[in-house]
Amino acid sequence: MPLTDAAIKKLKPEDKQYKLSDGGGLYLLVHPSGGKYWRLAYRINDKQKTLSVGTYPDVSLKDARDRRETARKQLANDIDPGEARQAKKRDDMIAASNTFEAVAREWIENRSNDWTAGHKALTLKTLEQDAFPTLGRRRIAEITPLELLESVRKIEKRGALEIASRVLQRCSAVFRFGIATGRCNGNPATELRGALKSPKRDHYTTIEKGGLPQLLRDIDTYQGSPMTVYALQLMALTFVRTRELTEAEWSEIDLDKAEWIIPAGRMKMRRPHLVPLSTQAVAVFREAEKLSGDRRFVFPNRNDPSKPASNAIILRALGRMGYTGKMTGHGFRSAASTLLNENKSKWGIHKDHIEIQLAHVEKNASRGAYNFAEYQEDRIIMMQRWADYLDELKVGAQILAFNKAA
């Protein structure tokens, strides 16, 4: 006799499991624990098989009967319902691994050895915030140029033009990875060149014409923490990236040799970087050593000395000195690049020396065997000349105007 919902609800568990038939191979299996499980018995190619249909009441009596009918139609066409279910699971798994989000996460992991942990986290965060909500669940091979454009234009509409451009660039990289791994055949991002508004290219803020001498004097007389003063002075003298300085460890620095070797793991390009230290830079490090020499980090975090200082200390200090919107940590790099290039003939500096010191190393295969000590002697001379020049500016011996770096 066919089952009814009322009868099923009244079923009680017994010491051993038992089953009640609904006909057509469908039956309800009642466990001693009280669980009620739908099963479908069927025969194909002279083999008796059983298919799990679901759990009551999550799968109602009506739903179980509908699934029985679907299975019977498959059997009528010589299709094994169990094998068909496994094939669908495999297809679903393949489809899940071919979504834009799945491919993007795989791309990020694939690039992990080339990126710093910070850059990896930032790239993932950008995609999580501005790409995955609209594109994440879509199969990467099915995303059209118009769909991608609509996604990035949502970012553009909120006025975040630089972010919209960056997201499009990263999406393009994901599609290229998808092509390389056989998940898609084209890159819709290439069809969108010129489709977005161009962000204003101020790049990183740096001092206006003639403002560097005063900034250097303001740094020396800054009334904040001595360690912050030392950090600002070293930003000017070494023009490394902000995070490279704030996360510097004493183990990286040899003051007797007057050199600082930043390990590959902390560099943007994942290559070790040599920073020759001028006599002025050594003197600043010596002062910092008096305060943090027994710590791991040159600039320990004020709240937790076992961690490095936040890279925000540079920007906050510049703001307190009145340089909000006029100067950033990266501005020291822009200033050094501009002034060193303007004076390279006068000082006998080659452009390659400047680029290597800025850690602007080409990524192509011909530069794969990068020598972090390349042009070391020339760079030692250059860094000392740069430090002497900053001293000249501070005392007003020479005022050289320069434009914002592009």
CA distances from 248 to 168, 239, 241, 263 (A): 33, 13, 11, 10
Q: Which residue in 36, 67, 333, 353 is the catalytic one?
A: 333
The verdict on whether 323 is a catalytic residue reads: no
Q: Is 159 left (phi over 0), alpha (psi -120 to 50) or beta?
A: left
Residue 47 phi/psi, 5-degree rounding, is -120, 135
Quick one: which of 271, 281, 286 has its CA closest to 358?
Answer: 271
Structure-derived torsion over alpha carbons of residues 154, 155, 160, 163, reported in degrees to the nearest 10: -160
Is residue 22 helix, strand or coil? strand
Q: Which residue in 88, 320, 360, 367 is the catalytic one?
A: 360
Compute and round to an integer the Cα radius of gyration of the chain.
33
Q: Are strands 253-254 and 259-262 parallel, antiparallel or unpaired?
A: antiparallel
Q: Which residue in 18, 37, 222, 370 is the catalytic one?
A: 370
Q: Which residue in 138, 268, 385, 394 is the catalytic one?
A: 268
Residue 372 phi/psi, 5-degree rounding, is -65, -15
Q: Which residue in 36, 65, 67, 241 is the catalytic one?
A: 241
- CA 19 – CA 39 distance, rounded (Å): 9
Is residue 234 helix, strand or coil? helix
Q: Which residue in 170, 183, 330, 353 is the catalytic one?
A: 330
- CA 261 – CA 281 distance, rounded (Å): 14
The three-point CA angle 244-246-250 to 5° equals: 85
The verdict on whether 153 is a catalytic residue reads: no
Going by the DSSP 8-state scheme, the letter that residue 198 receives in this structure is P
Q: Which residues contact 295 (CB under 8 A, 6 or more apart)?
A: 250, 305
- CA 15 – CA 18 distance, rounded (Å): 9
The verdict on whether 241 is a catalytic residue reads: yes
The verdict on whether 330 is a catalytic residue reads: yes
Point out the residues that are catalytic. 241, 268, 330, 333, 360, 370
